[in-house]
Amino acid sequence: MVIGIPKEILSGENRVAITPDTAAKLIKLGFEIVVETNAGLNAHFLDESYLQAGAKILSSAAEVYSAADVICKVQKPIVDDSVNELKMMKKGTLLISFFFPLNYPQIAKESAAAGVDVIAMDFIPRITRAQKMDALSSQSNLAGYKSVLLAANHLGKIFPLLMTAAGTITPSKVVIMGAGVAGLQALGTAKRLGAIVEVSDVRTAVKEEVLSLGGKFIEVEQDASLQDERGYAKEQSAEFLQKQKEVLFKHITQADIVITTALIPGKKAPILVSEEMIKNMKHGSVVLDMATEFGGNCELSEFKKTVVKHGVTIIGEANLPSLIPTQASELYSKNILALLAEIGKGGTVNLDMSNDVVKESLITHQGEVVNARIKPLVSQ
């Protein structure tokens, strides 16, 4: 089978799905690799490196889609009036990419209609065997790191306690909303830079992880578990969200930096930082909202924009891993390699529904939406 790597066309996306090193390993597994010219350029992987790995370079996306049996992408296909990546794929093509079908079920429906089979990298199950395939975690890890550096760059202060002849500089205070992969990496990065870090999460089970990394855990009293069976935060009640806002008000308004990472699969991101909180923050403070693609955690954040409101800089960067494209591509590429090693043999792919990884991550197959979580959404 031929694996095709087109250049990402979404504005601001610098990653590439397969790196030259991974291409060489896939070729050893029996696959052929075709790459659109300059597909890896923005991530600093040159065509020459792909050629040395044994891949073929094709001059256009149309040639790649025409030649490929499997398409590996970072972003979900773009389907609009100017370009339709689904129509460029052959019927029966297997697309492997981030897809977010809970948030964008229409694209799942259109993929099925186009006869494109889809494996969503964001639907890889959180089981031990699939850890190497967990692209959400690999990319969120880098996003957490970059979020701290980006926020620090906009803050007019340094992070650490500093004793100088001219006096003592007090450490900056960072509040992180959400202790998932991104939040914990942000915590570790901010601590290494010398900040005092507080972390809030609806899942009290993560408290020990926060404390072990040197953070302080902000607790909100709750009556029931707010973690689902897959380890993600569940949608919270209006009563709990109000209680959370009351507890967080003091912590947020005293912070120099607030980083929000809270997402609920298939739902609009919860508002955690209100305009009233922003008004009461110190002039020059920074809020970085990592959830702007899905509505945002901050009431005043704007998608893909950095704005100043009430004296507070609010960063709405939606694609933080793309700002570290080399390592982000390397990790994502290894996630796909692990997936193809699981479902591929002798240069072919077997979509065996008895395999937990395939069952959970396969969204469309043979012209139908087959994923149990997505079927109800496209039938409405």
Assigned fold of 140-318: Rossmann fold (3.40.50)
Q: What is the pLDDT of residue 16?
A: 98
Residue 239 has pLDDT above 80, yes or no: no
Q: What is the mean pLDDT of the chain?
A: 93
Give exposure, 90-106, as e/b (b: 16+ Cβ within 10 Å): eeebbbbbbbbbbbebe
Residue 224 has pLDDT above 70, yes or no: no
Residue 231 has pLDDT above 60, yes or no: no
Catalytic residue, candidates 131, 225, 237, 242: 131
Catalytic residue, candidates 49, 137, 254, 274: 137
Give me Rg for the CA atoms of the chain. 22
DSSP 8-state secondary structure symbol assigned to residue 318: S
* Beta strand pairing call for 56-58 and 32-36: parallel
Residue 201 near residue 183 (C-beta atoms within 8 A): yes
Structure tokens at 187: 């915590």
What is the C-alpha to C-alpha distance for residues 204 and 219, in angstroms, rounded to an integer?
8
Catalytic residue, candidates 49, 66, 104, 232: 232
What is the C-alpha to C-alpha distance for residues 205 and 344, in angstroms, rounded to an integer?
36
Residue 131 near residue 379 (C-beta atoms within 8 A): no
| pLDDT tens, residue by residue, 159-169 | 999 999 999 99
Mean pLDDT throughout 230-258? 80
Quick check: do 2-133+324-378 and 140-318 share a fold? yes
pTM (2 decimals)? 0.92
Domain definitions of the chain by residue range: 2-133+324-378, 140-318
Return the percent helix, strand and coil in the chain, to nearest 5.
40, 20, 40
- The verdict on whether 232 is a catalytic residue reads yes
Residue 233 has pLDDT above 70, yes or no: no
Residue 3 near residue 69 (C-beta atoms within 8 A): yes
- The verdict on whether 134 is a catalytic residue reads yes
Mean pLDDT throughout 304-320? 96
Q: Domain spanning 2-133+324-378: which CATH class is it, in words?
A: alpha beta
Identify the weakest region by mean pLDDT among 69-78, 107-116, 231-240, 249-258: 231-240
Backbone angles phi, psi at 254, to 5 degrees: -100, 0
- The verdict on whether 126 is a catalytic residue reads yes
Catalytic residue, candidates 117, 122, 134, 201: 134
Residue 232 has pLDDT above 80, yes or no: no
What is the C-alpha to C-alpha distance for residues 8 and 10, in angstroms, rounded to an integer?
6
CB atoms within 10 A of CB 218: 20
- Coil, strand, or helix at residue 19? coil
DSSP 8-state secondary structure symbol assigned to residue 298: B
Mean pLDDT throughout 241-250? 84
- The verdict on whether 192 is a catalytic residue reads no
DSSP 8-state secondary structure symbol assigned to residue 267: S
- The verdict on whether 201 is a catalytic residue reads no
Burial of 347 (0-12, 13-18, 19+ CB in 10 A): middle
Backbone angles phi, psi at 147, to 5 degrees: -60, -40
Residue 76 near residue 10 (C-beta atoms within 8 A): no
Which of 117, 169, 175, 191 is CA-nearest to residue 343? Answer: 117
Residue 279 has pLDDT above 70, yes or no: yes
Which of 208, 213, 214, 218 is CA-nearest to residue 178? Answer: 218
Q: Tell me what percent of the residues of the chain surpass a pLDDT of 70.
A: 96
- Coil, strand, or helix at residue 304? coil
What is the C-alpha to C-alpha distance for residues 365 and 138, in angstroms, rounded to an integer?
26
